[in-house]
């Protein structure tokens, strides 16, 4: 990899490396644990595709760091000690209402075979990571609490409760409850963590006094219990902004970004950065620093709607991964700078076709088949390397534009074997292809089938009519004569795409003109006035059939 790569992930990797090189504290941490790129997610239900942007960003930066020769790891934590605070519409209320306020890892899974609610929803997304080329080490924040990893940070937070209170006051301009301590115990009686209030810390005996308050939060009801408990070893958790700051030194994080909504003025990142600096004396990870909050990544929206975990269907990460091939989504997210908005609307649009065309172009540039200037080549090469899922092939695959694949699969009524034969014919590929090439083409045909079934706008869809379409009655005598001329030509020989294109234009020009000629052709074949590009389309169909159809003999 060129040291001066301008690709965004390479730039971040270099900045983080420089920062670590200049900070003895960070230097020691990465020596022990490697360069940790960290992200976290609350498994509160089906997780939206928007979160996928963060995972791809952290994974890509970790890969870029490894290309710099650094021992980098992407670690993703399930924030499974967070309280169940919002009721997803797809959950059975009668079964789950009683768990509002309970940590996700202590709630039963909605499906058998999983340890908990948290495990179920976290696994639903992480089981797709391999398809996305995401190399992540998974961990559980709750487990870290139980293991005692946060004990030291909890003690510091409780010892510095006044300081934390001051930070909140400085940032928010108002004070939070004077008796509230930065710790939420799990109620020993009802098991809820969202309803408890710790109000007294005894630093000598290292216990907190707390009560489980009936009306502390509107979404869950406390049981009224009052008790005293050690704050360590999983008996509770830090409030999440304090927790965020505590994680950085505990885990040893050098890079962690988040959606830009966290980075707003008075946002959670500002609070976490201040706590990391002033309470834990630890440099906050890039894009933040000791002196600046930095900026998060832009939204990833589908169809113009900002993704939110609480509403909207069909934009769940696990769901979309079944429809849009993960490797193409990865390409989109890798090639787009994190600070640029992505509004991806695959439904009833040709966006997926265009994305595939871009991907194929990047691939041709990578293999030197398409020439561009040096700067663009370097950029596209990095995009290809960092977005390719699996092992990069040794030579350019037999590319097949998705649009052409979509036309072919429809022409043969989704018969993949026939489709492959036609691909070989139109693309002039050798009869005998390597296993990799066949796998590549089959994969492209599968994607085309999915695209036609799930996303294609009407104008891209057609069915070759087995019987003469009714609409043929509407075409003029002149148009019919023109079609017969083409039928005569087709009866004489096999055409190549270029020859056929030429022939079509010649006949059209000499007879009814292009527009009327194309219209008549499409009506005769698919009963519609518009269709896929004519010459390649005709080559996908049986020649005898075409001759008969264009002679209007059935």
Interface residues toward Zn ion, by CB under 5 A: 187, 189-190, 212, 223, 225
State the nearest-atom distance from the C-beta of 183 to Zn ion, in Å. Answer: 15
Of 214 and 488, nearer to Zn ion (C-beta) is: 214
CA geometry: angle 253, 128, 351, nearest 5 deg: 100
State the nearest-atom distance from the C-beta of 191 to Zn ion, in Å. Answer: 7
Instruction: Look at residue 303 and give its three-state secondary structure.
Output: coil
Core vs surface per residue 95-124: b (16+ CB within 10 A) or e = ebeebbbbbbbbbeebeeebebbbbbbbbb
Query: In this structure, are residues 248 and 256 in contact, taking their beta carbons and an 8 Å threshold?
Result: yes
End-to-end CA distance of the chain: 61
CA separation (Å) from 105 to 81, 84, 108, 147, 488?
Answer: 6, 10, 8, 15, 72
Of 7 and 210, nearer to Zn ion (C-beta) is: 210
What Rg value do the Cα atoms of the chain yield, rounded? 30
Of 225 and 232, nearer to Zn ion (C-beta) is: 225
State the nearest-atom distance from the C-beta of 214 to Zn ion, in Å. Answer: 9
Of 96 and 225, nearer to Zn ion (C-beta) is: 225
Contacts of 297 (CB under 8 A, 6+ apart): 53, 54, 57, 257, 258, 259, 260, 338, 339
State the nearest-atom distance from the C-beta of 236 to Zn ion, in Å. Answer: 12
H-type alpha helices, 23-69: 24-33, 49-67
CA geometry: angle 9, 251, 79, nearest 5 deg: 90
State the nearest-atom distance from the C-beta of 242 to Zn ion, in Å. Answer: 22
State the nearest-atom distance from the C-beta of 211 to Zn ion, in Å. Answer: 9
State the nearest-atom distance from the C-beta of 210 to Zn ion, in Å. Answer: 9
Of 37 and 187, nearer to Zn ion (C-beta) is: 187
Of 212 and 254, nearer to Zn ion (C-beta) is: 212
Question: Cα separation of 13 and 58, whole Å?
Answer: 11
Residues in the chain: 554
Question: Cα separation of 20 and 31, whole Å?
Answer: 10
Of 190 and 246, nearer to Zn ion (C-beta) is: 190
H-type alpha helices, 412-542: 416-426, 435-454, 477-492, 497-510, 514-526, 534-539
CA separation (Å) from 298 to 44, 129, 302?
Answer: 22, 21, 13
Of 171 and 223, nearer to Zn ion (C-beta) is: 223
Provide the 10 A C-beta neighbour count for residue 216.
19
Provide the 10 A C-beta neighbour count for residue 498.
9
Place of tokens 């390409």: 331
State the nearest-atom distance from the C-beta of 231 to Zn ion, in Å. Answer: 16
Of 114 and 225, nearer to Zn ion (C-beta) is: 225
Provide the 10 A C-beta neighbour count for residue 178.
8
State the nearest-atom distance from the C-beta of 102 to Zn ion, in Å. Answer: 10
State the nearest-atom distance from the C-beta of 348 to Zn ion, in Å. Answer: 50
- Whether residue 76 is preceded by a cis peptide bond, meaning omega within 30 degrees of 0, is no
State the nearest-atom distance from the C-beta of 28 to Zn ion, in Å. Answer: 42
Of 15 and 223, nearer to Zn ion (C-beta) is: 223
Question: Cα separation of 63 and 330, whole Å?
Answer: 14
Of 12 and 186, nearer to Zn ion (C-beta) is: 186
User: 344 forms bridges with which residues in the sheet?
Assistant: 302
Structure tokens at 376: 């663009």
Of 225 and 367, nearer to Zn ion (C-beta) is: 225
State the nearest-atom distance from the C-beta of 334 to Zn ion, in Å. Answer: 46
Query: In this structure, are residues 366 and 169 in contact, taking their beta carbons and an 8 Å threshold?
Result: no
CA neighbor of 539 nearest in space, from 399, 416, 419, 398: 419
Of 221 and 450, nearer to Zn ion (C-beta) is: 221
Strands 226-229 and 207-212: antiparallel
Of 223 and 471, nearer to Zn ion (C-beta) is: 223
State the nearest-atom distance from the C-beta of 189 to Zn ion, in Å. Answer: 5
CA geometry: angle 276, 140, 315, nearest 5 deg: 95
State the nearest-atom distance from the C-beta of 106 to Zn ion, in Å. Answer: 13
């Amino acid at each position: 990899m060129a040291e001066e790569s301008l690709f965004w992930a390479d730039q971040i990797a270099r900045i983080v490396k420089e920062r670590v090189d200049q900070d003895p504290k960070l230097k020691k941490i990465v020596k022990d644990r490697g360069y940790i790129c960290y992200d976290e997610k609350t498994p509160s239900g089906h997780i939206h595709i928007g979160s996928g942007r963060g995972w791809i960003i952290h994974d890509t930066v970790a890969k870029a760091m490894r290309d710099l020769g650094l021992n980098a790891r992407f670690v993703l934590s399930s924030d499974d000690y967070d309280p169940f605070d919002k009721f997803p519409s797809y959950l059975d209320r009668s079964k789950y209402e009683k768990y509002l306020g309970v940590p996700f890892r202590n709630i039963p899974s909605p499906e058998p075979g999983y340890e908990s609610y948290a495990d179920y929803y976290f696994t639903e997304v992480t089981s797709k990571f391999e398809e996305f080329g995401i190399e992540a080490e998974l961990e559980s924040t709750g487990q870290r609490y139980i293991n005692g990893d946060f004990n030291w940070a909890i003690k510091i937070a409780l010892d510095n409760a006044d300081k934390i209170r001051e930070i909140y006051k400085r940032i928010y301009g108002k004070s939070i409850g004077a008796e509230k301590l930065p710790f939420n115990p799990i109620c020993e009686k009802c098991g809820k963590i969202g309803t408890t209030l710790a109000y007294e810390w005894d630093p000598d005996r290292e216990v907190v006094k707390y009560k489980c308050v009936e009306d502390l939060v509107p979404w869950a009801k406390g049981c009224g219990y009052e008790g005293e408990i050690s704050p360590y070893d999983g008996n509770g958790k830090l409030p999440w902004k304090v927790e965020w700051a505590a994680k950085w030194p505990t885990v040893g994080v050098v890079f962690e970004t988040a959606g830009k909504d966290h980075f707003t003025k008075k946002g959670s990142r500002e609070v976490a950065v201040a706590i990391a600096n002033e309470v834990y004396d630890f440099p906050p990870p890039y894009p933040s620093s000791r002196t600046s909050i930095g900026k998060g990544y832009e939204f990833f929206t589908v169809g113009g709607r900002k993704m939110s975990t609480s509403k909207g269907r069909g934009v769940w990460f696990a769901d979309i991964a079944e429809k849009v091939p993960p490797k193409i989504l990865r390409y989109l997210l890798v090639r787009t700078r994190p600070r640029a908005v992505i509004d991806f609307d695959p439904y009833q649009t040709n966006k997926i076709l265009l994305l595939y065309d871009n991907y194929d172009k990047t691939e041709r540039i990578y293999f030197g088949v398409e020439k561009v200037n040096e700067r663009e080549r370097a950029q596209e090469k990095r995009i290809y390397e960092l977005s390719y899922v699996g092992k990069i092939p040794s030579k350019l695959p037999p590319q097949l534009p998705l649009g052409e694949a979509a036309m072919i699969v429809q022409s043969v009524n989704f018969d993949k074997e026939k489709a492959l034969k036609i691909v070989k014919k139109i693309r002039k590929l050798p009869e005998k292809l390597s296993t990799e090439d066949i796998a590549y083409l089959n994969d492209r045909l599968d994607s085309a089938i999915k695209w036609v079934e799930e996303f294609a706008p009407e104008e891209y869809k057609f069915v070759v009519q087995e019987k003469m379409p009714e609409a043929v009655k509407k075409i003029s005598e002149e148009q019919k004569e023109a079609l017969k001329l083409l039928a005569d030509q087709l009866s004489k020989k096999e055409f190549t795409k270029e020859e056929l294109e030429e022939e079509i234009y010649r006949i059209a020009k000499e007879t009814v003109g292009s527009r009327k000629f194309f219209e008549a052709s499409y009506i005769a074949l698919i009963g519609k006035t518009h269709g896929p590009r004519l010459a390649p389309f005709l080559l996908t169909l049986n020649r005898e059939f075409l001759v008969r159809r264009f002679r209007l003999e059935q």
